[in-house]
Structure 1
């Protein structure tokens, strides 16, 4: 079932509805989603088959569309825009199964026509509204929702590894996220929202400073003011170390080996920050580091208390992985 909102009256023409939705009118957004939901689900089933994956991909697409509705540039193309979001979510699932198809028969909008989700959400006027809704979720649900809807490497397996829970728990938590957001989002639209853009900018500056510290010769003590001395750093190998110094040491080793690190995304919410970066390996050692990494930072009392790091699968590993959401 799509997200439900209190509705009344007769839906206007689709293009007018899309224009109103872009301006943040919640009834128009709800009508737009309901009008197109069956077609969105049909696209998901065409790509994934009948089953829970198709339902999950479609529900995830509803949340993505809510967050990005302000970026719909052509109101007359709303159907193609929504279907493209569905296909993009389906591709995340298909990557673990087989080579990804370019598009769906009969559709006229390909993946290359869809703006980068992170960039769109960053610019969206509704971003703070979505974040305020996420802020109403419990501490166990928030990171799962943030990783799923606001990061690139967002498969169920990837989220499970970062959160330290089984894949089945990720599925059940995301199901609960969708249920709660369907109730919460309509109620918080007019509330006072946190300034997520400012928080994200602050956290992005912090991430960039740490990732470039070794190259720029910046000392650890210049950057550790927001990090707890006993911060738990959990590496992909399962090793647990303590303090920001452990991160500096690892980055220093990579830098000495000729690896460069580029920050590509930061997601920030109350108590949780997510970094995504890519590694640029030296030509003489192209496999030194995996292609990318995701960092999950948990805060308490204004200090970072725990960090979990997961590497993106190398291309040959991704082909060998079992199917996952």
Structure 2
């Protein structure tokens, strides 16, 4: 039997309902209240060491995204312990630290039609804007690996390392730091005003769709006139560096040879925007191009910055 709470202290059921209504601070308080029990589960499964703390942090992020799925607010404690237990089991299976959205029992998306739009992943979850505001507070290096890992189809440490040009160990370290900062930031930032990520994502999806249409007409540079600079530096999957004119020339050449790109996913931060697209080669030459491409846009106030292209490995 648990000790009674002091007068005026909100019950778990009150905190759950407030969190489900969009109050990140209430979720932070709920997690703080159950942190010891969650850590106890992690220690029991994984033993003493950093893996146990990582599991608790991962579980906090799952709770952040999945609190709306908790149908019985009075069962918050058992639910949180179950989340930790599932995270620990995933670690023991050694599946390269399975992404949050793919953990057993907590699948948040259907990937059968390609990676989902992050707004779709988080729509219906009123803490969505908090999540994205918290992501924006991460350093650029932490933010990029987190966006890739949890919101795109580039999920393995090895592929993220290739795209970012960093060692695999650095990717692991950055993801661990990002999880710790996101989990620790719940209580500190719950009462702050956050960006409307749905509006931002919709704007960038519209830009991406308009760009693809224009690029297929050979007008890539003009389509980017309002939001990307002609001084843009483009890094290709081979590591070659070119300018925007060469990108337009290359896209137009592929189109003339029957190649098309189909936009699948847009992940929109304030400083990093990621597009995922399928590449459709002509029927008579099905291996003309790799089957997909990731466009990683690094933005700055003047529309300069960089663009990095990457071809994911398909398993």
TM-score w.r.t. structure 1 length?
Answer: 0.71
Measured on the aligned residues, the alpha-carbon RMSD in Å equals 4.1
Partner of 1:135: 136
- Looking at structure 2, the residues matched to 213 and 254 of structure 1 have their Cα atoms a distance apart, in angstroms, of 14
Range moving further from structure 2, 53-62 or 199-208: 53-62
- Looking at structure 1, the residues matched to 207 and 55 of structure 2 have their Cα atoms a distance apart, in angstroms, of 33
- Does the CA-based 8 Å contact 2:211-2:223 persist in structure 1? no
Q: Which of the two has higher C-alpha Rg?
A: 2
Shift of 1:233: 0.7
Partner of 1:27: 26
- Looking at structure 1, the residues matched to 146 and 217 of structure 2 have their Cα atoms a distance apart, in angstroms, of 34
CA offset digits 1:247-274 (Å, max 9, x no partner): 3223223323333212111111221111
Cα separation, partners in 2 of 1:60 and 1:103, compared to 1, 3 Å: closer
Shift of 1:41: 5.7
Shift of 1:228: 2.2
Secondary structure of the residue aligned to 1:279 is: strand
Shift of 1:189: 1.6
Shift of 1:234: 0.7
- Does the CA-based 8 Å contact 2:27-2:186 persist in structure 1? no
Secondary structure of the residue aligned to 1:300 is: coil
Structure 1: segments with no counterpart, 5+ residues? 1-7, 316-325
Cα separation, partners in 2 of 1:130 and 1:261, compared to 1, 3 Å: same
**What are the residue-to-residue correspondences of 1:157-236 with 2, within 5 Å?**
157-216=158-217, 218=219, 220-236=221-237
Partner of 1:277: 277
Secondary structure of the residue aligned to 2:307 is: strand
Shift of 1:289: 2.6
Cα separation, partners in 2 of 1:170 and 1:121, compared to 1, 3 Å: same
- Looking at structure 2, the residues matched to 207 and 67 of structure 1 have their Cα atoms a distance apart, in angstroms, of 26
- Looking at structure 1, the residues matched to 55 and 154 of structure 2 have their Cα atoms a distance apart, in angstroms, of 15
Q: How many residues align?
A: 291
- Looking at structure 1, the residues matched to 135 and 126 of structure 2 have their Cα atoms a distance apart, in angstroms, of 16
Shift of 1:213: 1.8
Partner of 2:291: 291
Shift of 1:129: 0.8
Partner of 2:109: 115
- Looking at structure 2, the residues matched to 168 and 74 of structure 1 have their Cα atoms a distance apart, in angstroms, of 39
**What are the residue-to-residue correspondences of 1:1-325 with 2, within 5 Å?**
12=12, 18-25=16-23, 26-28=25-27, 31=30, 34=34, 37=38, 59-60=57-58, 62-70=60-68, 72=69, 74-75=71-72, 79=79, 82=83, 86=87, 94=95, 109=105, 114-116=108-110, 118=118, 119-216=120-217, 218=219, 220-243=221-244, 245-315=245-315
Shift of 1:307: 1.0
- Looking at structure 2, the residues matched to 163 and 237 of structure 1 have their Cα atoms a distance apart, in angstroms, of 13
CA offset digits 1:55-95 (Å, max 9, x no partner): 7577445324413434x2745898599589859x87x9748
Structure 2: segments with no counterpart, 5+ residues? 1-7, 111-115
- Does the CA-based 8 Å contact 1:143-1:272 persist in structure 2? yes
Cα separation, partners in 2 of 1:249 and 1:304, compared to 1, 3 Å: same
TM-score w.r.t. structure 2 length?
Answer: 0.73
Shift of 1:23: 1.7
Shift of 1:132: 1.4
- Does the CA-based 8 Å contact 2:60-2:183 persist in structure 1? no
- Looking at structure 2, the residues matched to 303 and 247 of structure 1 have their Cα atoms a distance apart, in angstroms, of 16
